[in-house]
């Protein structure tokens, strides 16, 4: 992951990429933004900043496999809390998809899983919980694009990382600047802008399950770029995740039962 290319404290990196992402989204939505600072808007911003900051720190304290796998426990939290928060029920079929995806992701990352640093594992778990909260809160605002919470969340992440940033005694290298721009504009700014648009059209559970494709595609790009072949377990896990996503999309195209989590 790009975060591992930075030698700076992870909180500082998370804050600076948040600043870049916040400015990018502010420019993107200029003239159409409405900051109400309502409870819902602020809660979404806090959940978003917690997701990005905890993952940034967790990635440095434990393996990337541990961090990603624990963050993508978000569908479990959504399946558990969704019925209370959104007033919908989680069906047996929903649980089967969640179980299949987690099995595939665990198999995929099995070569990289380690006992790791306890604090890193706890922060990665917290990132998964906050991601679930962010998705559920964004679904509460599905009638609008809701860029405002993303902008507030990114600036909040910057404020969280500001003390660590001010304590730095080295100037950023050209590589560091490029990495921060890629993280801020590409990963957070553009990535979450598209994600916010998608969450208006898919259920909360689908919004947590479908992004699992992202880490699965990583070894494919590596194989195509430098010829490094993934292991058999990695391939098996990847096929399982992609298959489950495909089945979930096909299931969503059918008429879901009224009031089920597929509508949440």
Instruction: Indicate left, alpha or beta for 91 from its phi (over 0: left) and psi (-120 to 50: alpha).
Output: beta
Encoded tokens for 136: 């559920």
Does pLDDT of 149 surpass 90?
A: yes
46/51 Cα distance (integer angstroms): 9
Structure tokens at 216: 């699965």
For residue 251, what are its two tokens? 């299931």
Q: Once rounded to an integer, what is the mean pLDDT over residues 104-120?
A: 75
Model confidence at 226, pLDDT cuts 50, 70, 90, reads: low
Identify the helix (H) or strand (E) that includes residue 250.
helix 232-253
CA distances from 23 to 18, 44, 134, 165, 258 (A): 9, 18, 20, 18, 40
Q: pLDDT for 39-64, tens place per residue?
A: 999 999 999 999 988 988 888 887 77
- Position 48 scores a pLDDT of 94
Q: Please give the pLDDT value at position 152.
A: 96
**Residue 253 confidence class, pLDDT cut points 50, 70, 90:** low
pLDDT > 70? residue 225: no
Query: For all residues of the chain together, what is the average pLDDT?
Result: 81
What is the mean predicted confidence (pLDDT) over 72-95?
A: 82
Residue 195: partners with Cβ closer than 8 Å, 6 or more residues away: 207, 211
What residues contact residue 16 under an 8 Å CB cut-off, 6+ apart? 158, 161, 165, 180, 184
- E strand segments, 90-200: none
């Amino acid at each position: 992951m790009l975060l591992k290319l930075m030698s700076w404290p992870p909180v500082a990196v998370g804050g600076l990429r948040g600043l870049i992402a916040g400015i990018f989204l502010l420019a993107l939505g200029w003239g159409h933004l409405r900051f109400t600072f309502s409870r819902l808007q602020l809660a979404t911003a806090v959940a978003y900043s917690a997701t990005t900051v905890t993952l940034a720190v967790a990635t440095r304290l434990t393996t990337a496999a541990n961090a990603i796998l624990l963050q993508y426990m978000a569908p479990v939290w959504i399946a558990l809390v969704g019925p209370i928060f959104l007033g919908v029920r989680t069906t047996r079929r929903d649980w089967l998809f969640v179980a299949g995806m987690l099995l595939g992701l665990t198999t995929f990352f099995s070569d990289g899983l380690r006992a790791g640093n306890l604090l890193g594992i706890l922060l990665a778990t917290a990132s998964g919980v906050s991601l679930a909260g962010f998705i559920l809160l964004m679904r509460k605002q599905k009638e609008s694009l809701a860029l405002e919470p993303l902008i507030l969340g990114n600036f909040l992440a910057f404020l969280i990382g500001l003390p660590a940033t001010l304590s730095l005694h080295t100037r950023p290298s050209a590589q560091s600047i490029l990495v921060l721009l890629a993280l801020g504009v590409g990963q957070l700014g553009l990535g979450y802008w598209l994600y916010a648009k998608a969450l208006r059209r898919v259920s909360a559970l689908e919004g947590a399950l479908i992004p699992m494709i992202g880490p699965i595609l990583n070894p494919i790009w590596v194989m195509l770029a430098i010829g490094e072949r993934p292991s058999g377990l990695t391939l098996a896990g990847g096929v399982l995740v992609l298959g489950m996503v495909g089945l979930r999309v096909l299931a969503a195209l059918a008429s879901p039962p009224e009031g089920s989590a597929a509508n949440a």
